[in-house]
Amino acid sequence: MDELTIQTLIKAKYSGGIAETSMYVNLAIQATAVIIGGIVLWRGSVALHKRKLAQRARNSYFETPYSKGWKRK
């Protein structure tokens, strides 16, 4: 690093510029975590719902060609 960059960083640190930047970075990380967490919960909920629907599926043991023909679909 050259001397100008170091001086710029020192000025930013003592002027409070870095504190604001770290606050914005922290906020962006939290927002990203909330979005990713929401997507994970959403996909988990969809998977559980599909499993529940699969368990409720009718048993095909009693279905015959005759019973399929007279029922409304």
Q: What is the pTM of this model?
A: 0.53
Per residue in 14-70, pLDDT (tens digit) is 777 666 777 888 889 999 999 999 999 999 999 999 888 877 766 666 677 776 666
Query: According to the model, what pLDDT value does residue 72 have?
Result: 57
Backbone phi and psi for residue 19, each to the nearest 5 degrees, phi listed first:
-60, -40
Residue 18, burial from CB neighbour count under 10 angstroms (0-12, 13-18, 19+): middle
Domain ranges of the chain: 8-70
Query: According to the model, what pLDDT value does residue 9 have?
Result: 75
